[in-house]
Amino acid sequence: MSETNRIPLSPTPRSTPKRAKERVRTDRADLDAVLDAGLVCHLGVLLGGSPVVIPTAYGRDGDMLYLHGSTGAGNMRAALAGDISVAVTLVDGIVYARSAMHFSMNYRSAVMHGRAAEVTDPDQRLHALKVMVEHSAPGAWERVRWPNKKELAATVVLALDLTEASVKMRTGGPKDDEADVVAGGVWAGVLPTRRVWDAPISSDDLEVGVEVPPEVLERAALSSAAI
């Protein structure tokens, strides 16, 4: 574990959850684990005075969360004009309780806040794009054609420092009222859920003889393991 992983979280009021405190994690390693396990984030920006939530890809490297978009996208301009909020959530189970209000979900979530910076240095931009490709498709960057000048010119890369973040996790069974447990007769428990990968589907226009890369096959083979 690197030094940065030892930094505690939640240094500001808005990144300090006030409710369900037993679910709050304050270890930086938990933040990294949630971000590394997620596929998409939900980016919140202020647009025309109102919040707008956008699902988008991301990548993490050390203390930096990277996002990207088209130079023509209003959302990207909005993301640079003020603070943003980014959430990554993984649902691990539905918690079936004995009473309606105790139904819940087991989950892992990270919510980050802050001012994103535009990454403008060419080397850093290429690095950020690599981090994002590798997040979605580990092992792919070295196999594929890298961004050319035209593609880079059309792309905005944002970096958000991970210092202002909160992590929440819920695990385990329902927390029913004692009276409902005593009354009995109602099933209670957890229905676990997870993401699996299916067999890769080669592109229709792929020439004969190009095999599915080992890292893709390996990822598909992880289907039986929880992520």
Report the site for a second copy in 132-151 (rule: CB under 8 A): 133, 136-137, 140-141, 143-147, 151
| 79-100 burial: b if 16+ Cβ within 10 Å, else e | beeeebbbbbbbebbebbbbee
Out of 2, 4, 26, 70, the only residue in the binding site for a second copy (CB under 8 A) is 70
Out of 3, 22, 123, 204, the only residue in the binding site for a second copy (CB under 8 A) is 204
> Across the strands, what pairs with 61?
64
**Does residue number 122 form part of the binding site for a second copy (CB under 8 A)?**
no
Report the site for a second copy in 144-203 (rule: CB under 8 A): 144-147, 151, 155, 173-174, 176, 180-181, 183-203
**Does residue number 29 form part of the binding site for a second copy (CB under 8 A)?**
no
Q: Are 108 and 169 in contact (CB under 8 A)?
A: yes
In terms of CB distance, is 5 or 37 closer to a second copy?
Answer: 37
Out of 4, 26, 40, 121, the only residue in the binding site for a second copy (CB under 8 A) is 40
Whole-angstrom distance, CA of residue 86 vs CA of residue 41: 6
Task: Compute and round to an integer the Cα radius of gyration of the chain.
Answer: 21
How many residues belong to the site for a second copy (CB under 8 A)?
Answer: 96
**Does residue number 80 form part of the binding site for a second copy (CB under 8 A)?**
no
| Residue corresponding to tokens 């929880």 | 226
| 41-59 burial: b if 16+ Cβ within 10 Å, else e | bebbbebeeeeeebebebb
**Does residue number 72 form part of the binding site for a second copy (CB under 8 A)?**
yes
**Does residue number 73 form part of the binding site for a second copy (CB under 8 A)?**
yes
| AA letter at 41 | C
Give me the least distance between CB of 65 and a second copy, in Å please. 13
